[in-house]
Structure 1
Amino acid sequence: MRRLSTQDQNFQTVFADLLAFETVNDPELLSTVDQIINDVRQHGDAHVLHLTQKFDRHPAHQFSDLELSQAQLKTAFDQLQPEVRTALELAAQRIRAFHQAQKQDGWRYVDDLGNTLGQKVTPLDRVGIYVPGGLASYPSSVLMNAIPAHVAGVNEIIMVVPAPDGVLNPLVLAAAHLAGVSRVFTIGGAQAVAALAYGTETIARVDKITGPGNRFVAAAKRAVFGQCGIDMIAGPSEILVYAESNNNPTWVAMDLLSQAEHDTVAQAILITPDERFLNAVSEAITEHLKHLPKAEIAKTSIENRGALVLVKDREEAIALINQVAPEHLQLCVDDAEAMSEHIRHAGAIFMGSYTPEAIGDYCAGPNHVLPTSGTARFSSPLGVYDFQKRSSLIMCSKAGVQPLAKAADILAQEENLDAHARSARYRYTEI
């Protein structure tokens, strides 16, 4: 795992190279995805079935074989081991409670001219949630995507999840039952995104697609944006830990590896002002890797994209954190709340040594679908607000319209929009 110091002459260049990552910049990938999308638009169910048989080796003979019934979802839930069911229900309850607090209501007021102004908030009609399958099969992703949509009041939630060789984690189905998913299709990849965005004979087109996936899914989501909404273009998972010397290096090392085990291109960074602590964490990582089932993935991740960064002080660390804008940020310090006030860019902030990022992945309550690759500079975690939209409300009274219409008349003339000007003028010259 590379070691960097802010005192190195070329630190910023090396650090910028470390952070650089583009999920969907491969022209061949984009061309392939565009072709898949066009074929699904033309041939609908038949082409989705063909690609699912080809890429996922799914044994389905007809498209209807790819849809799972509500009874199948309930059976999967009913057959859970008691401790697993309890954990899943706890996670769902906490996620639902947190997102209930995000729900937005409309508002209105009457101005001093007697005009009514406001905002109407309505849920989307139908959304699609993409849930990874196969090796990366995450029931938690079902809860994190479906529950906010349900809280928002979305009428229909369609879930797509690939099932390689027709095999699917039953816990994913149990989570879909618990989260109130309307329909489930065992399809994945760019073809699933295309089916959701444009619709097929069986799948109704959705208003928005959310949820993480591989680079084909990310490229497809970018391609269909505009046809429907998307949450974000998700990159590899990231964690940045800031820790000072009063921490347990064994804990911090495992926190870093908790993200590194996701993917060979995941990123784990430690920032600390204490070189002894940095060395201790490095040694603990080496020891942990001897015992982790996904050690090869984690090892490749930390060798290629990980870093142990030595800084002068906390102020320098804060500047680096805001530069990175990490997906997950752990502040392992006693005054984490005070330090968090200086953090402007982060997807989620985990405060204190007893708050590992892993808690946020499952059952803390806030959403684990977070902006990656520095996009926390301008975007936010998935939430209820992603499944609601706002309409402006404007109602002018007979008296209240007159000063507004006069101002609109003048401004429209300045913009050389005569019909605009006359439309406004009628409201105060013919009353």
Structure 2
Amino acid sequence: MKNFGVSILLRISLILLLALGTTYFFTQKYYAFSFSIFIVFLISGYTLFHYVTSLNRKMKRLFESIQYQDFAITFKADNKMGKSFKDLNSDLNAVISSFNQVRSEREATLHFINAIIQQINVGIVSYNTLGEVEISNQTANKLLRVYRLKNINDLKAEQPHIFEVLESLKPGESRLLTLEDNDLSFSITEIQMRGRRIRLLAIHNIRSELQIKELEAWQNLTKVLRHEIMNSVTPIVSLAETMRDIVNDEIKPTTATEIESVNDLKEALVTVQKRGLGIMKFVNAYREFTSIPLPSKTHIEVTDLLKRVEGIFAPKVAEGNIKLSFDYDADFEIFIDQDQLEQVLINIIKNAFEANYTCDSPEISVRSKLKNGIKTIEILDNGTGVPLDIREKIFIPFFTSKKLGSGIGLSLSRQIMALNDAKINYQSISPQGTAFILEFI
């Protein structure tokens, strides 16, 4: 600022000289010349005022840009007014650049944190004392069954049971709410942030977690049972085959009684061998329940998928016994293993064809739906439905109400859906019928 001070002194000196010159020539009665010098005096005074107050204007612009977070301004218009102004402009531009960098880093950090929040499997909702939602991730919207939550009070009309829980829940408390298709755990933490009270709501889907643990337990049990059964039955089958060969080759009956006894022994050994092989085949049939490959996920259009499944069942529909219709109410994209999801749909539709029907027009309906951001595929039939006493057991491995069923179709479907971060639920339709709902992220 040394040059700035020198420039001020020179300008003041010039103004003083002009003032003295005006006075001198006025006293000598050179009025015209005196007036001209006076005009120059006024111009010099104005330029001195503008020169001195330019720093205040710069600082005002700087503070306003910080206040309104407008960091697009630059200071360089008066670089020609001297090196001091050029250096000052450079320093002010450096300050603006620093603020701009801090804001960019903050926005990048917030974007990163928001991306993390959106990816976690726990529902997160942040709202203030007025109920205004500031942060809400996709999992929370999905569990609360809303497309977009702007205010917690909006739940009063859409999800009254959930709203009652949130309204009565105090900070630090947790509460479990059992719904038709979910068991949700709610917990609230209250924090102070910049003089404001913020409530942080965490929502856990307990049912899905329990289902995953249940599937893991069934898988481990199945592996152990299959191993032990195979270890026990294999030598029995081998010994039965060996004994049958010995009886055929080495035992030569001579009397009618001996012949009858040997034939009975052969028949018994054949029966043991066949039943042993049957048990081994039966046990091996459950290998797929414990060895599902990890999904190879891709983005697929649900309409294209349903059209493929519709083509698979075309020969079955041609028989004319049961009507199968596909309604493409909504087309949306899902990120899932296409082959595995196709197998789930085939399993459920096949079960629907095998259901009991007492009505005159048996019908199966498959439709895609998109409501409040929730993507679903529904498979409905108008059969007699699942008896009330076994509804809780239909997803249990090896449980079946069919004479020739293996009992792994639905449990396998649930496992596939869980591996693909999706869900399958059962609902009873009044007055009769069944609905299986596949829900996707």
TM-score range, shorter chain: under 0.3
TM-score scaled to structure 1, two decimals? 0.19
TM-score scaled to structure 2, two decimals? 0.19
Question: Which structure has the larger Rg over C-alpha atoms?
Answer: 2
Higher relative contact order (CA 8 A, sep 6+): 1
